[in-house]
Amino acid sequence: MLNPARIVALSLALIISLAIPTALMAEDAKEAWEALVKGGHIALIRHSNAPPGFGGDPPGFRLDDCATQRNLDDKGRAQGKALGDAFRNHGVRVDRVVSSPVCRCIDTATLMASGQVDRSLALLPDRNAARPRLGELKKIIASWRGPGTLVLVTHGFTIEALIGFIPEQAETIVLSPTPDVEPGAHVVGRIAPPRSP
């Protein structure tokens, strides 16, 4: 049986171990927001919540028919709006918004209400061994100069191919362009998905 002093010590250790990652994440998000406000950076966003949340689309998927795709649910639509609100509340100037042509990405970008949404095949996952889409995406990112922010709404697998990990749905990865260094940008910080209302 543990004595009360040992229980308190273990409880404090647990609290501290949970607080450190939270503090680091908060600092990471702070740096990310500062970069976006400064301008000249890229907000790489994985589309909002679209159940089941991981994996591809159903059999029969077609780009021209949203009914054949995984789509945003109520939580995903709320996250899209909350992303746009967060950008406005932080004073981020959005100069351009580009989305994958898949409906859940277009819907996320549109719900952000941050400007006209352009579409690019470069934001689709690249299954070709030569990776032409990924090469095009790297060029888009490396060439961005601002003055404001470039918002790119895409898929987890596209982000993983670019920077090596899959973020959560509705998570924002802030990038700084590095034209002469692969993969064309470095990660400034991460902003957690908006909390559900």
CA 126 to chain centre: 17
* pLDDT at res. 195: 82
Average pLDDT for 99-117: 97
Range of the domain at 79: 4-191
Residue 8 lies in a domain: yes
Residue 138 lies in a domain: yes
3-state helix, strand, coil in the chain (%, to 5): 45, 20, 40
CATH of the domain at 164: 3.40.50.1240
Which one has a higher pLDDT value, 17 or 197? 197
Report the domain count for the chain: 1
Q: What is the pLDDT of residues 116-127, one digit of tens each?
A: 999 999 999 988
* pLDDT at res. 56: 74
Residue 196 lies in a domain: no
